[in-house]
């Protein structure tokens, strides 16, 4: 795997606030890398220093083996699609897309050919003569994308480009984007908040936390083996379940598992069903873990008295967990479940081992 872009010891401070804080990252040639992280962790800042509209405080960014950290933006040949599209409002779609080529003083015939090719691919050929202010959100997004693609840059940075689209258009736009990326073989760095987007688009996902990469891997790797309880809580449709390991004869620390890793039936962990939620095919059960007769540390979480059971957020060492079952249970039923798979975390929340108990 060739490395397209490499970040070495990258720091970005705004006055005294450390936004990027010793960030190291390698991006492979031709991959679709998704950057995922909570709000304010520096995702946009990372893209801005990459494209060169912000200077680094320290460190290096290396592209194709060349240090680009000090180069002005127009010498980097990196395209960025901004969240708000940043289209030129007084121009038509055609003029917007053609703009970078015009700036590069390409011949008219070549500009025309390129714009029409990319517009066919992105299905915006019929709106080319319209002023961009008259376009729908989805069309604007594709014009912004076309303007980035037409330049034939070395790498694409996309900052939540689909977040302004409504849910259905978004799903279509998402699969189109993935198709384009694969067809063209370009390297994409894509920032999103959306977990399902991260799961469906990415070759790999990098989790940014407080200005540093906390973990990088395929979405499945992150789901299965979060390196820290923090990642386990952050990634996935539901946070990972965490219970105090000591209660179950495990080392001091936390035991983490996904609801799908628990099989209801004979097993070593028992609990009382608190709340049930009807799923498509299964029930998502929230239960209080009842270990050695002591019902201590039970956290009823946020779903109390509601039919929407959830494993909640925040409290790692809670004893309330969500598990899945195809059977229907009532509040107060006692269940036993077996963990087919679980992770063991040390008291600091670092992964010690991933256990397959099947
Ligand atoms: N020009 C600036 N001057 C000072 N602080 C800034 C500047 N730009 C960003 N910040 C701060 O840097 C931090 C990271 O911002 P950034 O926009 O990179 O976060 P983000 O991860 O993209 O968040 P979001 O998911 O909300 O878009 C924030 O606390 C923000 O207030
Ligand atoms: Mg941002």
53 lines ligand 1 (CB under 6 A): no
Instruction: Give the confidence band of 278 by pLDDT, cuts at 50, 70, 90.
Output: very low
pLDDT at 336: 76
Q: How confident is the model at residue 224 (pLDDT cuts 50, 70, 90)?
A: very high
How many A from CA of 44 to the centre of ligand 1? Answer: 7
* Residue 308, pLDDT above cutoff 60: no
pLDDT mean over 341-357: 88
Task: Give the mutation target among 12, 14, 189 for probing the ligand 1 site: most ligand atoms within 8 A of CB.
Answer: 14
Pocket test for ligand 1, best of 43, 57, 164 (most atoms within 8 A of CB): 43
Share of the chain above pLDDT 90, in %: 46
Give the number of residues written for the chain.
358
* Phi, psi for residue 298 in degrees, rounded to 5: -80, 130
Contact in structure between 31 and 203 (CB atoms under 8 Å): yes
Gap from CA of 88 to ligand 1 centroid (Å): 24
Helix-, strand-, coil-residue percentages of the chain, each rounded to 5: 30, 35, 35
Residue 259: the pLDDT is: 83
CB 16 less than 6 A from any atom of ligand 1: no
In this structure, which residue's CA is closest to atom 13 in ligand 1?
40
* pLDDT tens-digit series, residues 23-68: 999 999 999 999 999 999 999 999 999 999 999 999 999 999 999 9
Q: Is the CB of 42 under 6 A from ligand 1?
A: yes
pLDDT at 298: 29
| Closest residue to atom 30 of ligand 1, CA basis | 40
pLDDT single digits (tens) 75-123: 998 999 887 778 999 999 999 999 999 988 999 999 999 999 889 878 8
Interval 9-29 mean pLDDT? 96
Using pLDDT thresholds of 50, 70 and 90, give the confidence band for residue 287.
low
Residue nearest to atom 9 of ligand 1 (CA): 45
- pTM of the model as a whole: 0.83
- Ligand 1 centre to CA of 356 (Å) is 40
Say if ligand 1 is within 6 A of residue 4 CB.
no
Instruction: Report the pLDDT averaged over residues 137-151.
Output: 87
Report which of 291, 325, 318 is spatially closest to residue 303, judged by C-alpha positions: 318
pLDDT of residue 8: 98
Q: What is the pLDDT of residue 351?
A: 94
Element (H, E) at 140: helix 137-149
Please determine, for residue 17, whether its predicted confidence score (pLDDT) is greater than 70: yes
Which residues are within 8 A (CB) of 284 and not within 5 positions of it... i.e. 6 or more apart? 259, 276, 277, 309, 322, 323, 324
- Pocket perturbation via mutation, ligand 1, pick of 13, 19, 50 by most ligand atoms within 8 A of CB: 19
Check if the beta carbon of residue 73 is closer than 8 Å to that of residue 55.
Answer: no
Judge whether residue 237 has pLDDT over 90: no
The CA 40 to ligand 1 mean position distance, Å, reads 5
| Ligand 1, atom 18: closest residue by C-alpha | 42
Residue 68 is predicted with a pLDDT of 97
Long-range contacts of 70-75 (CB under 8 A, 24+ apart): none
Mutate to test the pocket of ligand 1, among 44, 84, 207 (most ligand atoms within 8 A of CB): 44
In which residue are the tokens 């063991």 written? 344
The DSSP line for 294-341 is B-TT----TTTTSS-----SS-TT-SEEEEEESS---TT-EEEEEESE
Per-residue pLDDT, 276:
54
In the predicted model, is pLDDT for residue 256 greater than 80? yes
Residue 103, C-beta contacts closer than 8 angstroms, at least 6 positions apart: none
Structure tokens that stand for 70 in this block: 């000090």
Assess whether pLDDT exceeds 50 at residue 175.
yes
Higher pLDDT, 293 or 140: 140
Q: Is the CB of 50 under 6 A from ligand 1?
A: no
- Please state the separation of Cα 352 from the chain's center in Å: 24
Residue pair 253/245 in contact by the 8 Å Cβ criterion: yes
- The ligand 1 atom at the shortest distance from the C-alpha of residue 42 is 18
Where is mean pLDDT largest: 100-114, 135-149, 254-268? 100-114
């Amino acid at each position: 795997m060739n490395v397209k872009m490499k970040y070495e010891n990258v720091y970005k401070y705004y006055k005294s606030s450390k936004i990027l804080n010793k960030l190291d990252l390698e991006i492979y040639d031709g991959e679709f890398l998704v950057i995922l992280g909570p709000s304010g962790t520096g995702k946009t800042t990372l893209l801005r220093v990459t494209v060169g509209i912000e200077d680094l405080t320290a460190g290096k960014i290396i592209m194709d083996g060349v240090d680009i950290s000090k180069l002005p933006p127009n010498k980097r040949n990196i395209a960025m699609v901004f969240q708000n599209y940043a289209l030129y409002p007084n121009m038509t779609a055609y003029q917007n897309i053609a703009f970078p080529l015009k700036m590069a003083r390409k011949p008219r015939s070549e500009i025309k050919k390129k714009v029409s090719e990319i517009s066919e691919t992105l299905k915006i050929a019929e709106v080319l003569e319209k002023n961009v202010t008259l376009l729908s959100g989805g069309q604007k997004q594709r014009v912004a994308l076309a303007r980035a693609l037409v330049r034939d840059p070395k790498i694409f940075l996309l900052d939540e480009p689909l977040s302004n689209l409504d849910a259905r258009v978004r799903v279509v736009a998402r699969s189109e984007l993935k198709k384009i990326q694969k067809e063209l073989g370009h390297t994409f760095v894509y920032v999103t908040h959306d977990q399902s987007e991260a799961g469906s688009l990415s070759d790999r996902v990098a989790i940014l936390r407080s200005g540093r990469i906390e973990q990088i891997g395929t979405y499945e790797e992150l789901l299965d083996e979060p390196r820290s309880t923090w990642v386990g809580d952050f990634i996935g449709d539901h946070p990972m379940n965490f219970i105090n390991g000591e209660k179950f004869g495990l080392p001091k620390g936390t035991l983490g598992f996904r609801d799908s890793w628990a099989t209801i039936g004979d097993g070593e962990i028992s609990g009382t069903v608190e709340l049930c939620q009807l799923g498509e095919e299964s029930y998502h059960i929230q239960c209080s873990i009842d270990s050695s007769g002591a019902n201590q540390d039970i956290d009823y979480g946020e779903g109390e008295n509601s039919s929407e059971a959830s494993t909640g957020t925040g409290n790692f060492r809670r004893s309330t967990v969500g598990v899945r079952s195809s059977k229907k249970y009532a509040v107060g039923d006692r269940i036993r479940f077996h963990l087919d798979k679980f992770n063991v975390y040390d008291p600091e929340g670092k992964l010690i081992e991933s256990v397959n108990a099947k």
